[in-house]
Amino acid sequence: MSSREEVYTRHGGKGGDRGKILTEMMNAEGKAEVLDDILVLDVSCANFAGIICASFLAEFGAEVIKIEPPEGDAARQITPFGVTVQGVGIPFMFEGRNKRYMTLDIKNSDEDRKTFAALAKKAAVVIESFAPGEMDGWGIGYRQLSQVNPGLIYIALSAYGQYTDKAREAARAPDTDITSQAGSGLPAQMGAPAEDREPFSWPLRGGMWVGWYISGLSAALGGTVALLHRQNTGEGQMVDVAGMDAYSSMVGMPATIGFTWEKARPRIGVLDFILYPYGHWKCKDGFVAIAAPRDHDFRALLKILGLWEQEDDWRYSSDRIPDILEQALHLHRIIEEKTLQFTADELVRMALNYSRKSARSKWRGGGVPIVMKLMTPEEAMTNKQWHIRKAFQEVEDEKLGKYTISANFVKMSESPPRVKWVASEIGKDNDYIRKKYLSD
């Protein structure tokens, strides 16, 4: 492998065995699991942020019990175009990682609430997404559970959170991905400029679950901080995630820009507020992404595309930022005229050749102009890089058959996350769980 590598970092130089050593080192097989002594109860309902958070903990080895009513969590039917396999939706199958399934009707049955409380006594983490205060009203909220189990970490997911007057007023508002995206500010930043025709000029939703994945990730991160504190002190705590915070709190920009600029940014289409060139362009046979934002990267790009005569006008990044939209679009079209003359592969090759030469040069400042062929998710699955890294995994559900998932988000040398099995069957582990946790 190493002799044919595209080595063009300016410092890494030699390539060699490091890749092989790492491939070995990052193999997950037979390695320890971080959370093998942690019991997690996920009673979230119709809320994938909760399910996603539970998945991350399960991938790191926790025993995760998905608790749902006898008819199953409504999340099972949240699925693109209504596509299911034997009644199970695609996202539910995708997130059905290393989990146990138990049925309890905690919404309606006193008996089942007691069973839940008995389980929660032994659990390290509870995840729920009922209306704020609802679990508390049933006597199984953080307030009550923490009396019996002071080490409990209680993760609550909702639209507006568990405290403040607003949370009280809007307690009945359910949390979904699209309302989380809208309420936390993503669509305001995406789409064509206001002058464009409708509906292109409208704020645009992210075409994936940006809201729910950010909430789920935030919950898992907050929950793991809490687990560390519990490991040190034995104390538990409550973790409160609000969908209306998701995007804005994770990227931080809306709050600060709204304050320093005293207004909202307009939508600027395919351009970027800070960097240029930093986006995608049409080429002969599709699209390429180009990132050459720093001045030396930009100079390199001009050379590659045969546009050196433009250098004078656009030399500094401050010349290129799209604060005057028309001007930036002008440059955009100049570049497009060139990219249209080549195929994606040709453009990638041209950038690589340049970068390789500049990496070998003793002169600094050659720039790293990056050109990449744009991939759809389906095309991404065929990339050899991910094959070697085992980024995709074919899994088999006993009932639902084989399917492919993107596996773990990270590689770790000692205690990596992993997908051991997938399952989705309602109540599948009722007996196992009762025997293991409720027989005393």
Partner 1 sequence: MEDYFSYTAKLFNLDDASQKPEALKGIRVMDFSHVIFGPVAARLLADYGAEVIKLELPFYGDLWRPATYWGKYWKHSNPIWHNITKNKYFLSVNLALRQSKELIYKMAETSDVVIENFAPGTADAWQIGYEKISKINPNIIFLSCSTYGQFGPMRYFPGWDLLAQGASGVLTLNGYPDTDVFYKLPDYVGDFVPGNFAALAVLMALYYRKKTGKGQYIDMAQTEGLMRTLFHYTYYSITGEAIGRTGNTDPTMMPASIFKAADGKYLALACATAGQFKKFASAIGRQELASDPRFADTIERLKPENAKTLTEIVTEWVKSKPGVEIVRLADEAGFPAAEVADDFTIANDEWRRKRGSVVLFKDDVYGNLVIAGPSAQLSGTPSRTKWLARPLGYHNRVVLKKFLGLSENEIKDLEKKKVIGTFDDRPGLKPPVYYNLDEDPIYNYGKEVSS
Ligand X SMILES: CC(C)(COP(=O)(O)OP(=O)(O)OC[C@H]1O[C@@H](n2cnc3c(N)ncnc32)[C@H](O)[C@@H]1OP(=O)(O)O)[C@@H](O)C(=O)NCCC(=O)NCCS
Between residue 240 and residue 259, which ones bind partner 1 under the rule CB under 8 A?
240-242, 244-259
Q: Are strands 63-68 and 39-42 parallel, antiparallel or unpaired?
A: parallel
Size of the site for partner 1 (CB under 8 A): 196
Q: Which of 186, 283, 302, 347 binds partner 1 (CB under 8 A)?
A: 186
**In the complex, least distance from residue 310 CB atom to partner 1, rounded to whole angstroms:** 20
**In the complex, least distance from residue 102 CB atom to partner 1, rounded to whole angstroms:** 20
The answer to whether residue 337 forms part of the interface with partner 1 (CB under 8 A) is: no
C-beta closer to partner 1: residue 200 or 308:
200
C-beta closer to partner 1: residue 387 or 435:
387
The answer to whether residue 229 forms part of the interface with partner 1 (CB under 8 A) is: yes
In one letter, which amino acid is 24?
E
Chain position carrying tokens 């249209």:
340
Compute the distance between CA of residue 247 and CA of residue 245 in angstroms, rounded to an integer: 6
C-beta closer to ligand X: residue 202 or 273:
273
The interface region with ligand X, picked from 3-11, 133-141, 212-220, 236-244 by CB under 6 A, is 3-11
Question: What mask of x and - would describe binding to ligand X in positions 4 to 43, judged by CB under 6 A?
Answer: -----xxx--------------------------------
Question: What mask of x and - would describe binding to partner 1 in positions 395 to 424, judged by CB under 8 A?
Answer: --------xxxxxxxxxxxxx-x-------
Chosen from ligand X, partner 1, none, partner binding at 220 (C-beta under 5 to 8 Å by type): partner 1
Q: What is the dihedral of CA 398, 404, 410, 412, to 10 degrees?
A: 50
Compute the distance between CA of residue 371 and CA of residue 378 in angstroms, rounded to an integer: 20
Q: Which of 90, 117, 329, 334 binds partner 1 (CB under 8 A)?
A: 90
**Secondary structure (3-state) at 237:** strand
Q: What is the dihedral of CA 44, 50, 54, 56, to 10 degrees?
A: 170
Chosen from ligand X, partner 1, none, partner binding at 413 (C-beta under 5 to 8 Å by type): partner 1
The answer to whether residue 232 forms part of the interface with partner 1 (CB under 8 A) is: yes
C-beta closer to ligand X: residue 85 or 321:
321
Chosen from ligand X, partner 1, none, partner binding at 173 (C-beta under 5 to 8 Å by type): partner 1
The answer to whether residue 158 forms part of the interface with partner 1 (CB under 8 A) is: no
Both tokens assigned to 102: 């138990």
Compute the distance between CA of residue 206 and CA of residue 267 in angstroms, rounded to an integer: 14
Cβ atoms of residues 213 and 243 within 8 Å: no
Both tokens assigned to 78: 């949240």
Phi and psi at residue 126, to the nearest 5°: -120, 135
E-strand ranges in 254-296 read 278-283, 286-291
Q: Which of 322, 339, 342, 423 binds partner 1 (CB under 8 A)?
A: 322
The answer to whether residue 141 forms part of the interface with partner 1 (CB under 8 A) is: yes
**Secondary structure (3-state) at 351:** helix
Q: Which of 93, 120, 368, 371 binds ligand X (CB under 6 A)?
A: 368
C-beta closer to partner 1: residue 361 or 431:
361
SS3 string, 15-47, reads CCCHHHHHHHHCCCCCCCCCCCCCEEEECCCCC
Compute the distance between CA of residue 296 and CA of residue 317 in angstroms, rounded to an integer: 10
C-beta closer to partner 1: residue 323 or 431:
323
**In the complex, least distance from residue 250 CB atom to ligand X, rounded to whole angstroms:** 14
C-beta closer to partner 1: residue 204 or 430:
204
The most distant pair of C-alpha atoms in the chain lies apart, rounded to whole Å, by: 81
Q: Which conformational region is residue 89 in: left (phi greater than 0), alpha (psi within -120 to 50 degrees), or beta?
A: beta
Chain position carrying tokens 């309602």:
426
Subset of 272-301 contacting partner 1 (CB under 8 A): 272-275, 278-280, 282, 287, 289, 291, 293-294
**In the complex, least distance from residue 312 CB atom to partner 1, rounded to whole angstroms:** 19
**Secondary structure (3-state) at 118:** helix
The answer to whether residue 364 forms part of the interface with ligand X (CB under 6 A) is: yes
Q: Which of 110, 311, 379, 431 binds partner 1 (CB under 8 A)?
A: 379
**In the complex, least distance from residue 11 CB atom to ligand X, rounded to whole angstroms:** 5
C-beta closer to ligand X: residue 223 or 367:
367
The b/e string for 119-145 (b: 16+ C-beta within 10 A; e otherwise) is: bbeebbbbbbbbebebbbebebbbeeb
Cβ atoms of residues 64 and 42 within 8 Å: yes
The interface region with partner 1, picked from 87-95, 116-124, 330-338, 426-434 by CB under 8 A, is 87-95
Subset of 31-50 contacting partner 1 (CB under 8 A): 32, 34-35, 46
Compute the distance between CA of residue 271 and CA of residue 229 in angstroms, rounded to an integer: 43
Cβ atoms of residues 232 and 214 within 8 Å: no
The answer to whether residue 199 forms part of the interface with partner 1 (CB under 8 A) is: yes
- Interface residues with ligand X (CB under 6 A) are 9-11, 364, 368
